[in-house]
A = this chain, B = another copy of it.
Amino acid sequence: MNEYVSNHGSYCTISQCNNLCFDLLTPVEYELLKSKMLVINFKAGEILCKQGSFASHIIILREGLVKLFMENNSEKLVIQILPPNNILGLSSCFEGSSVFYYSAQAYMNSTAQIIDMGVFMSILNSNARFASKMLSLLAEHTVITYGRFFCLTQKQTYGRFADVLLCLANRIYKADKFPLQLSRKDLAEIAGMSIESVARILTRFKNDALIEITSDYVEILDKKRLTEISHKG
C-alpha cells in the first residue's frame, strides 16, 4: 500500500498551511497590503464569509477555530476545519469568479485579518514567488479536501468517525487528550452522519476502551486500533 493511501486519515480535515510568507513581499507591497488590511474579531457562531456572496476579500484566520461548509436549502457539508494561520478564499481567486464557494463560521471566538481582494490579486500578478507560494497553499488545501472527499464517500460511519477523532488529536489540538469544545451536533456534521450515530459510535469506542470521553475532554487511549478502524473504513 502506498504512503498516501495509508495516510488518508491524517489528511482528512486539517490544513497545515501555517507559514503565510508575507516575508516574500517587497516593503512596498507589504505596506500596500497593510494599508488595505483589517483585523476583525468574530464571536463563536458568527459567519466570516457567506457562500454565494461577493468575494471582496481574502481572510487569514489568526486565532480560534472555523469550519468551512457548503449548504443548500436542506443539506450541509463541512469541507474543512480550519485552525489558526490558515488562509481562506484562495479558491475564489480566479478570473470571472467573484463569489465565495463556501461559508465559514467560527466555532469559538476567533480573530482574522481581512485583505482586500483587489490588492491581493494585484500583488499576485506582480510577485512570482508570492503567487507560487499561494498556489502551493491552495494545492495543499486541495489535497486535504481530496482526502476528506475520499473519506466521506468511501468509508462507513466507524471509519469516518475514527478519522475525525484522529484529526482532532493530530492536527487541531496536537495532543491525545484534548478539550471537547464541539457538541455531538458539530461532530455529526463534521463526520457526515446523524447525531444518533455519533452517540452510538462514542459509546462503542468507550466500551472498547479506544477513547475516554467526559463532558469536557476526550482522550485517545488506543491510537493504533483507532487508526486501523480508520483504514478499514
Contact = CB atoms under 8 A, between A and B. Distances in A.
Contacts of A134: 135
A75 interface: yes
Interface string A107-149: 0000000000000010011111111101111111111011011
Contacts of A145: 142, 145-146, 149
Contact of A51 (B5, B51, B79, B93): B5
Contacts of A135: 90, 93-94, 124, 131, 134-135, 138
A72 interface: yes
A150 interface: yes
Interface string A48-64: 00011000000000000
How many of chain A's residues touch chain B, expressed as a range? 35 or more
A183 interface: no
A205 interface: no
Nearest to A3: B52
Interface of A: 1-5, 8, 51-52, 70-75, 77, 79, 90-95, 97, 99, 101-102, 121, 124-132, 134-143, 145-146, 148-150, 152-154, 192, 233
Given A5-B52, A79-B146, A145-B149, 9 more contacts: A5-B71, A5-B72, A70-B146, A74-B233, A124-B132, A125-B129, A128-B131, A138-B142, A145-B145
18 contacts: A5-B52, A5-B71, A70-B149, A70-B150, A77-B154, A91-B139, A93-B136, A94-B135, A94-B139, A95-B136, A101-B143, A102-B146, A124-B132, A124-B135, A128-B128, A138-B139, A145-B145, A152-B153
